[in-house]
Amino acid sequence: MKIERQVDQIINENVTAIAAGDESVESILARYPKIEAELRPRLEAAILLQQARYSVATRPGFIHDSRKYLETKIVSMPPRYSWQRIIMRYTPQRWVFNLIAPVIVLLMLALVVNSTLLTARLSIPGDPLFSTKLLIEDIQLAFTLNQVDKTNLQMQQTQERTLEFVELVMEGDYDYLPAAAGRMEAEIIASLHALNTVSMNSPGVELTMVAKLSDTLTNEIQMLNMLKATSPNSAHAGINLAIQVARSGVLALH
Amino acid sequence: MPGRQDKDYELIKKAQHGDHSAFGDLYENHAPSIFRYLYAHLDNQMDAEDLTGEVFLKAWQSLPKYTERGVPFLAFLFRIARNTLVDHYRQNNRQESKDPEEMDGYRAEGNPEPVDVIGSQIEHQKLLRLLQKLRPDYQTVLTLRFISELSPEETSQVMKRSVGAIRVLQHRALADLRKEMDKVS
């Protein structure tokens, strides 16, 4: 038997007798010499509580008198079922607040998410939200199942990369040019693959798309050549790389 | 205590059908335990009396909910009593006890002699001071077991712990109380 259980049992069996004077602490302890050290303090504490019980007893007549009062009072207070308690717990203002608060929170959340997405869409390489922009584009591509739509989206993303490159040159962020040219190349290759797939599945549809992408790349080459003339030498390597990538794209389209 | 539970069950059934007298019987059976539990945590007898009434009013209003839970009525009452006590502390924002001299001179009809009242109040204050030095769960287990005279099983239902855990808690609480008694003396 666990010591806690044994001590509890001894206390239960003897505390009343000790409090009444029929037994003494020492006589009980003499019966359990092995656990005396454990038992003594607890037995003494239990006796104190037993004796103190009378100091917290109700005053004479309280239960009888208060019973009458309680019975009178509950006549006008029917028991309430759970749904009644829920309704009564809330005032009309509380109900309105409970309904409006989540709506406001949702609206604010939507506003924050929307602002973040918009800021991400306008970001260029080097901005904190640029990776979010790339992630959103990947998600859009993953959820576009129609091949023609997918190709259009791919081409839009290629155009976005060319615009980003121009913006980087205009803003003087030359450090990001090689990486941006690399991303542009990857997008052009992906667009060419997509166009190839469309031409095999639905011949004729791809012609407009090819012309559009060709225009985009040609414009990019012209724009970059103009910017190169006004840019410092440190930017030339990156710009040349982008021009080369765009030219390769135009050649591939032809 | 199955006998007590069976008796309670019959009275609860009647009370749920609107029998105020049956609920009065439940009150008469359990109010002393509830009062002792509350008074062991409070420094004012009137507060304990008011809260006892409040506990039973809440119990009356929650009677339909009671059957859904399937807990012995006494455990159900003590849970209400604990919550009521917590609400009372929050409202009054104090837990410290008063000196016997500071206590109100409340004396209703049928009260014992003043000497007995003062003796009892001093004893009560001593108990209160000792208990307040213990951890809250120690206070609860000792009050339920020795002041309200609940069995380990009933205490376990009130405190939502196993019977074994209650015994261990009581074992430690008694040891701590004894240490506090030494400090006081």
Which range, of A158-162, B5-9, B33-37, B98-102, averages the lowest pLDDT? B98-102
pLDDT, one tens digit per residue, over B114-136 is 555 566 677 788 888 889 899 99
* Mean pLDDT confidence for B93-118: 46
Confidence band, pLDDT 50/70/90 cuts, at residue B92: confident
Chain A hits for B18, CB-CB cut-off 8 Å, are 78
Q: What is the pLDDT of residue B1?
A: 53
Mean pLDDT of chain B: 81
B57·A80 Cβ contact <8 A: no
pLDDT, one tens digit per residue, over B43-82 is 888 999 999 999 999 998 888 777 655 678 888 899 999 9
pLDDT, one tens digit per residue, over A208-235 is 888 888 998 999 999 999 988 888 888 8
Output A111 or B183, whichever has higher pLDDT: A111
Residue of A nearest to B109 (CA): A61
Chain A hits for B28, CB-CB cut-off 8 Å, are 63-64, 67
Q: What is the pLDDT of residue A110?
A: 96
The beta-carbon neighbor of B177 closest among A45, A56, A61 is A45
Cite the DSSP H helix spans in B62-162.
63-69, 73-92, 114-132, 136-142, 152-159
**pLDDT under 50: residue ranges of chain A:** none
B110: three-class secondary structure by DSSP: coil
Confidence band, pLDDT 50/70/90 cuts, at residue B14: confident
A79·B60 Cβ contact <8 A: yes
| Domain boundaries of chain A, sorted by first residue | 2-56, 82-121, 125-253
Q: What is the pLDDT of residue A84?
A: 64
Alpha-carbon torsion (B65, B67, B71, B77), positive or negative: positive
Alpha-carbon distance values, A225 to A99, A219, A222, A242, B129 (Å): 60, 10, 5, 10, 89
Q: What is the pLDDT of residue A50?
A: 85
Give the separation between CA B101 and CA B104, rounded to whole angstroms.
8
